[in-house]
Amino acid sequence: ESRGKPPVDWSLYLVTDSTPAILGGKDIVQVVDQAIQGGVTLVQYRDKHADTGVMVDIASKLHAVTRKYNVPLLINDRLDVCQAVGAEGVHIGQDDMGCIEARKILGPDAIIGVTASSVEEAQKAIEDGADYLGIGTTFATPTKTDTKSIIGTRGLQEILAACSTGTEKSVPCVAIGSINASNVQRVLHQSAHGSNRLNGVAVVSAIMASTDPRSSARSLLDLIKTAPQKYYASVAPNTAFVTELASQVAQVTSIIKSHVTSSVLCHNMTNTVVQNFAANVCLATGSSPIMSENGPEAPDLARLGGALVINMGTATPEKLNAFTAGMRAYNAVGAPVIFDPVGGGATAIRRNAVKTLLTAGFFSVIKGNEGEIGAVAGTSTTQQRGVDSGPSVSTAEEKANLVKAIALREHCVVLMTGKTDYLSDGARTVAIENGSHWLGKITGSGCALGSVIASYVAVHRQDKFLAALAGILHYEIAAERAEARQDCRGPGSFIPAFLDELYLLGEEVKQGRGIGANGEF
């Protein structure tokens, strides 16, 4: 007689581990009891070393606990142990018994989960009737050293994309591998493919190794339930916003006004060549610059209401450490981080640094020239010569599509600068024609724009796309005005004229002037 599959909440999946390195001297049954009290919604008993008799004994004790709370218990790999204690199902890896055979043995009501590290494995498991997928390994983990592939949030996203049938996933998916309180929201956020998201996460050490499993489970569940809205609120699609700014210019002007009166903190981790210029641009546009590449002080700075710019430049290992620490600190309090992958396509070291940073945290805005954005896309065919922008190799439409695709993939705002700039948040994509050719003749103009965008996003977090647009227009309209001045004769005289115009534009906005429908001031 069929009792039907029990309903399952996949949010927080605890996978046990009995090794001393993780469990320590704690009692596994008590740990599981406390973890469920803290919020664990599903338990898997996993023991790769114990004798069968011991496994059956522990499994039956665990089952008594999980039943008390009406939480399903699954057994890793061992169908016999599952049957012996009447557990709700099993989890099988790629080297274990196949899903079809397991189903024959356990019947239609058993929950059968399958590990998948690739799109192919995921699709096969779905065809074979898996009830859920455990996907990973997300990040390298000391808990399981024989993992086959570390796929990152990008790999999770690819699997989630491939598991979708239209807009619905056909089976629930949970991610596994080094997931803990410091990265769970980012994993949920960055792995999403459109509306197709993880149903939850599976953890071992984050709970099993904790000295307080109940509170560890509780904080994890809290983070899961509040992600991604808490920190990474994304912009509602606005289909009315096509390529003309007419309906948004009033708002853009009001964002400029709030920015120039804000003195918001702009924290720059930037290269020595541009530090002075970027700091002057910050002051002229109304933000308060701090130039610090000291990772350990980032947590204090992150709490001051501003934003961080990471200007990659020469990506030495020390700098990468500082960037990562900075990004983590700002991510942790939900403050914006702007990534400028300077020279990102130029060398193998820089291309790798781009990859490292993209997986180490979350960016609100990624900005760069064509070669740099190509490096972010990972599809760059342009070999960058230096950090300056080279000749364009793609059409306007290709550029617009590329920034949109990266925005959707990375869940952030993407700007590709050039004669025409392309800005997208995935839902809205605009081409911006403002600017001056002199910006290409002075050093640090791209980097300083990153600083401006950062502080704009900090003052207008509710719509990062419009905030970035306002910052770009402030910057580029000021450049146009500087170029038009009688006293601007070349790059040298352009710089002071530009700083003046950045400042004066802000003053005029305070007095009631604004951006017009065609991006003119």
User: Catalytic residue numbers?
Assistant: 447
Q: Is residue 183 a contact point for ligand 3NM (CB under 6 A)? A: no
Window of 95-103, 131-139, 372-380, 397-405 that interacts with ligand 3NM by CB under 6 A: 131-139
Distance CA 253, CA 477 (A): 12
Q: Is residue 47 a contact point for Mg ion (CB under 5 A)? A: no
CB of 151 to ligand 3NM, least distance (A): 9
Select from Mg ion, ligand 3NM, none the partner in contact with residue 77, using the beta carbon and a kind-dependent cut-off of 5 to 8 Å.
Mg ion
Distance CA 396, CA 71 (A): 54
Q: Is residue 380 a contact point for ligand 3NM (CB under 6 A)? A: no
How many residues in the shown chain lie near ligand 3NM by CB under 6 A?
17
Q: Smallest Cα–Cα separation from 138: which of 158, 123, 121, 117?
A: 117
Site string for ligand 3NM, 58-97 (x = CB under 6 A): ----------------------------------------
Which parts of 92-139 fold into alpha helices (H)? 99-106, 119-127
Residue from 36, 73, 110, 144 in contact with ligand 3NM (CB under 6 A): 144
CB of 46 to ligand 3NM, least distance (A): 6
Q: Is residue 141 a contact point for ligand 3NM (CB under 6 A)? A: yes
Dihedral (C-alpha) 357, 208, 221, 195: value to the nearest 10 degrees? 50
391: preceding bond cis by omega (within 30 degrees): no
Distance CA 340, CA 364 (A): 11
Q: Is residue 131 a contact point for Mg ion (CB under 5 A)? A: no
Residue from 11, 16, 66, 147 in contact with ligand 3NM (CB under 6 A): 147
The residues in 73-112 that bind Mg ion, with binding defined as CB under 5 A, are: 77, 93, 96
Residue from 177, 200, 213, 371 in contact with ligand 3NM (CB under 6 A): 177
The residues in 196-235 that bind ligand 3NM, with binding defined as CB under 6 A, are: 203-206
348-379: burial string, b at 16+ Cβ within 10 Å, e else: eebbebbbebbebbbbbbbbbbbbbbbbbbee
Select from ligand 3NM, Mg ion, none the partner in contact with residue 519, using the beta carbon and a kind-dependent cut-off of 5 to 8 Å.
none
Distance CA 387, CA 66 (A): 58
Instruction: Identify the helix (H) or strand (E) that includes residue 285.
Output: helix 272-285
Structure tokens given for 118: 């690739």
Residue from 16, 34, 143, 210 in contact with ligand 3NM (CB under 6 A): 143
Q: Is residue 159 a contact point for ligand 3NM (CB under 6 A)? A: no
Site string for Mg ion, 48-77 (x = CB under 5 A): -----------------------------x
Distance CA 136, CA 158 (A): 11
Measured at the CA of 285, the angle between CA 275 and CA 270, to 5 degrees, comes to: 20
| CB count in 10 Å sphere of residue 24 | 12
Select from Mg ion, ligand 3NM, none the partner in contact with residue 204, using the beta carbon and a kind-dependent cut-off of 5 to 8 Å.
ligand 3NM
Instruction: Identify the helix (H) or strand (E) that includes residue 307.
Output: strand 307-311
- Chain residues in the site for Mg ion (CB under 5 A): 77, 93, 96
- Chain residues in the site for ligand 3NM (CB under 6 A): 15, 115, 134, 136-137, 141, 143-144, 147, 176-179, 203-206
